[in-house]
Amino acid sequence: QRQLVEAGGGLVQPGGSLRLSCATSGLPWKRDAIGWFRQLPGKGRESVSCIMPTGTTVTYTDSVKGRFTITRDNAKNTVYLKMNSLGPEDTAVYYCAATGSYCSAYVSDYDLWGQGTQVTVSS
């Protein structure tokens, strides 16, 4: 069965950067749009970013625009989320997920999820 695995989370100082990765060892996912979601403490899971199968179209939620960059390397079956200028408000568990050919901001549209990786931004 296809699985997604996130990596790259950890503790970072305010203003710092992290790069998260989402990889699958299963079937290639070049046909799938891949989304990044996060769940803040006491909050539901929310969309952060999404990238289309070709990588030419990307989306970001307003709170991360200009700070986060999503990319994908289909040859490596890996999607990345580069996060710059991190603040405490970015502290969350970050998840990647696969959907169909079109990006969506809705959790219910994704049919495959990773286990999540914790990002903590603190001084």
**Sequential pLDDT tens for the chain (123 residues):** 788 999 999 999 999 999 999 998 766 667 889 999 999 999 999 999 999 988 889 999 999 999 999 999 988 889 999 999 999 999 999 999 999 889 999 999 999 999 999 999 999
Question: CA 93 to CA 90: how far, in whole Å?
Answer: 9
Question: CA 108 to CA 101: how far, in whole Å?
Answer: 15
Q: Would you say 104 and 97 are in contact if contact means Cβ atoms under 8 Å apart? A: no
Token pair, residue 89, equals 């408000």
Q: What angle do CA 9, 12, 16 make, to 5 degrees?
A: 110
Q: Enumerate helices (H) and strands (E) in the chain, giving the number of each.
A: 0, 11
Residue 102 phi/psi, 5° resolution?
-115, 140
